[in-house]
Chains A and B, each alone.
Chain A
Amino acid sequence: MAYTAEISRNSPACIIFLIDQSGSMEDPFGGSEDSQKRKADGVSDATNRLLQNLVIRCAKEDGIRDYFHTAVLGYGDQKVGSAFIGALTGKELVPVSEIGASPARVDERIKEKEDGAGGLIKETVKLPIWFEPVCKGGTPMCAALLKAKELVEGWLAKYPNGFPPIVINITDGEATDGDPSVPAAELRKLASSDGEVLLLNLHLSSQKATPIQFPDNKEGLPDEFAKRLFDMSSLLTPSMRNEAQNEKITTSDNTRGFVFNADMISVIKFLNIGTRPSNLR
């Protein structure tokens, strides 16, 4: 059965983030209550939270288990390259332990949560930051997808039988270097013996439309960019759909890895690295 290869330190999985850092990301982010928030803020928040969740998922008391190797490629201003800052500047695929050890800084925020007795308590939450918002230049999404294809080909040469690579594209969808559907289709044709590469798209829009997570059809998607990104997205795998069920997300055979103006953190929960208690929230 496809997409059942073990994800472990001996057989890690690869996750590549493509983050849109183009000038159009300066526009307001429709998915936020805060009118000052731009799409670029939405991108950096989404990427920082995804990496945070990935690191925490791999964390044990004696260190971070390298179940994943991760790259974050920014695209904008006519170029595509590693978007890491600080100690990881210029690095492409790195083990997740290096990411966990090297945030550019760790912010602290106070969060309220229920104390289980009907009251609220304040809790300090640590928020590691690897990226700051960037918005400049055009949107070379095709070039970004081709660069991702290059990294994936290199990965598959080393791990031909592992869990297939996952590429997560975070964008407002307005490519300026051609039709991204073409390189997206080429990327999705690559495969390990366990299945084809998974391309997931997180669409951030200036439109204040209802957030949508993992739809199974294009109806209700607010614009042409959303519809194109939906078509570019891989179907969720059967095991991802099982995990989605545990997260109370309804899916069907046609559900795609596409999210509109919402977060994609649940995707990290969908990846099976061992026993995950049903009562862990």
Chain B
Amino acid sequence: MNTRVDVFCTPKGGSKSTECEDAWFVEPDRASSIQRFAIADGATDSVFSGLWARLLVDAFGQNMLDGYDSYDFFDLLSFNQQEWQRKVDRRGNLPWYVEEKAKKGAFSTLLRLTLYDNFYWEAFAVGDSCLFHVRDEKIIERFPLTDSSSFGSSPFLISSKPSSNRGLFNKIHGINYRWMPYDIFYLMTDAVACWFMQSDERGFQPTHLIRDLSQRGFESLIEMLRHENLIRNDDSTIIRVELLDF
């Protein structure tokens, strides 16, 4: 199984690239029989969100799990919650406002895709980062949200504090299906995912627009969409995974 992978990312308009709170993980071995990809979107309304998003994608991107409903998932989550807290505590001498806000923890979405060389794929997600399965320029699967009206400003997210994750188990969505050579998977954070879905709903075939993007082309596209008020101003990330012929 061979894949071609590209990642495009641009921070929220008016922000520096170091302030971007989206994170991603891509399989380093593109010829591997099992390949994992993960994307996470740290919440604007918490501190050390970017750190939390990176811990999540690295942990869940690198680790094989029995399933998201297994003890493995929650063990891995617990380990990384402690790691987040250790890294925050090491900062020391935080201003009063960061110290108070850090007590509430950080929050992030998480979406992970696993591809198997037996033509199966599976994914799980918490929050509104989305996966699109595209075949012959048509979107054949949208996950976990299925229409653009589902995007809101208050999704349930994974917290770095255990006490804020009550009910998390019921908020994890899963899916599995089959892939074919030349299929493309897109993992997107919410602002660009919402635009992509809306655009498709209106019949504009956005798959053409992002099929052969470069980073510069992506930045220009997002800038144009923001200028036209067609996309919310937010960190925007796309991972594109193309299944090549064997």
**Residue count of chain B within 8 Å CB distance of chain A:** 41
Binding-face segment, B58-66, B67-75, B159-167, B196-204: B159-167
Say if the beta carbon of A277 comes within 8 Å of chain B. yes
- Taking CB atoms, residues of chain B closer than 8 Å to A6 are 233
Whether B233 contacts A277 by the Cβ 8 Å rule is: no
Q: In the complex the two chains form, what is the Cα distance from A40 to B205 in whole Å?
A: 61
Kindly identify which residue among A60, A116, A128, A277 contacts B47, using a CB–CB cutoff of 8 Å. Answer: A60
Say if the beta carbon of B96 comes within 8 Å of chain A. yes
Whether B156 contacts A279 by the Cβ 8 Å rule is: yes
Whether B167 contacts A279 by the Cβ 8 Å rule is: yes
Whether A272 contacts B153 by the Cβ 8 Å rule is: yes
Interface size class of A (residues with CB under 8 A): 20 to 34
Say if the beta carbon of A32 comes within 8 Å of chain B. no
Whether B104 contacts A280 by the Cβ 8 Å rule is: yes
Q: In the complex the two chains form, what is the Cα distance from A111 to B155 in whole Å?
A: 29
Kindly identify which residue among B14, B107, B155 contacts A8, using a CB–CB cutoff of 8 Å. Answer: B14
User: What distance in Å separates the Cβ of A112 from its nearest Cβ neighbour in chain B?
Assistant: 14
A 234-249 to B, binary, CB cutoff 8 A, 1 in contact else 0: 0000000001001000
Say if the beta carbon of B24 comes within 8 Å of chain A. no
B 142-171 to A, binary, CB cutoff 8 A, 1 in contact else 0: 000000000001111101001111110000
Whether A9 contacts B159 by the Cβ 8 Å rule is: no
B 188-216 to A, binary, CB cutoff 8 A, 1 in contact else 0: 00100000000000000000000000000
Known: A6-B233, A280-B45. A100 touches B97 (CB 8 A): yes
- Taking CB atoms, residues of chain B closer than 8 Å to A52 are 100
Describe B's contact surface by its main secondary structure.
loop
Known: A6-B233, A10-B14, A62-B19. A277 touches B155 (CB 8 A): yes
By beta carbon, the residue of chain B nearest A269 is B45
Say if the beta carbon of A59 comes within 8 Å of chain B. yes
Q: In the complex the two chains form, what is the Cα distance from A59 to B106 in whole Å?
A: 12
Say if the beta carbon of A170 comes within 8 Å of chain B. no
Assuming A276-B44, A277-B154, what are 16 further A-B pairs, CB within 8 angstroms?
Answer: A60-B47, A101-B95, A126-B99, A274-B44, A274-B234, A275-B44, A275-B45, A275-B154, A276-B43, A277-B107, A277-B156, A279-B107, A279-B156, A279-B159, A280-B164, A281-B104
Can you list 26 A-B contacts (CB < 8 A)?
A: A9-B15, A10-B13, A10-B14, A55-B97, A56-B97, A59-B47, A59-B100, A62-B19, A101-B95, A116-B163, A125-B100, A126-B99, A128-B96, A275-B44, A275-B155, A275-B157, A276-B43, A276-B45, A277-B43, A277-B157, A278-B155, A278-B157, A279-B107, A279-B156, A279-B164, A280-B164
